[in-house]
Amino acid sequence: MTSVRKLTERRGPPKTDFPCKSIGELDEIEAKVAADQSKYIELFRAMLAPEGVSKNLNRILTTTVLMEMNYGGTCSKKGLTSYVNLNNAIYESQRADGYTWGDYAKDVRTAFSKLKNRIYKATSKSKKRRRAAMGDDCDTDNFKMETNS
């Protein structure tokens, strides 16, 4: 028993494929999920608990992948719906009494929206900090343009 503990301690925590860092990795995960869906359902259940997919989608997809995607694949973006096996595994991991596919789709769309808004907000704040550090003030620039007109 002690030798088993020593072996597991040396190896560290189990390595997972998540979060996916690229669309290519996502394609690989899709194939892996197709091969053993029940394993991934349990993994997603653990990864997304307790808040669910609407709060923890970033545990499955990195921000760079999130920005290249949306749920339906509109506006020349890759859609999560095109990954059928992955989508089904995530849905099955979240399924409970009364939880429908429509509820799941709404949760995933909300997750994409919230995560992208968080990224946009962070980008905006970083731009404001850089401008403030450089001594550049956006409000005074707009004021100067309005008074010159």
For 120-141, write each residue's pLDDT tens digit.
999 999 999 998 888 865 555 5
Domain ranges in the chain?
A: 17-123
How would DSSP label each residue in 29-71?
A: HHHHHHH-HHHHHHHHHHHHTTT-HHHHGGGTB-HHHHHHEES
For 18-41, write each residue's pLDDT tens digit.
889 999 999 999 999 999 999 999
- Asked if the model's pLDDT at residue 51 lies above 60, the reply is yes
Longest dimension (CA), the chain: 81
- Asked if the model's pLDDT at residue 11 lies above 70, the reply is no
How would DSSP label each residue in 100-132?
A: -HHHHHHHHHHHHHHHHHHHHHHHHHHHHHHHH
Gap between the Cα atoms of 86 and 64, Å rounded: 18
- Asked if the model's pLDDT at residue 115 lies above 70, the reply is yes
Higher pLDDT, 17 or 88: 88
Q: Assess contact for 59 and 47: CB atoms under 8 A.
A: yes
Between the two ends of the chain, the Cα-to-Cα distance in Å is 81
Q: What is the pLDDT of residue 134?
A: 86
Gap between the Cα atoms of 55 and 57, Å rounded: 6
For 83-108, write each residue's pLDDT tens digit.
999 999 999 999 888 889 999 999 99
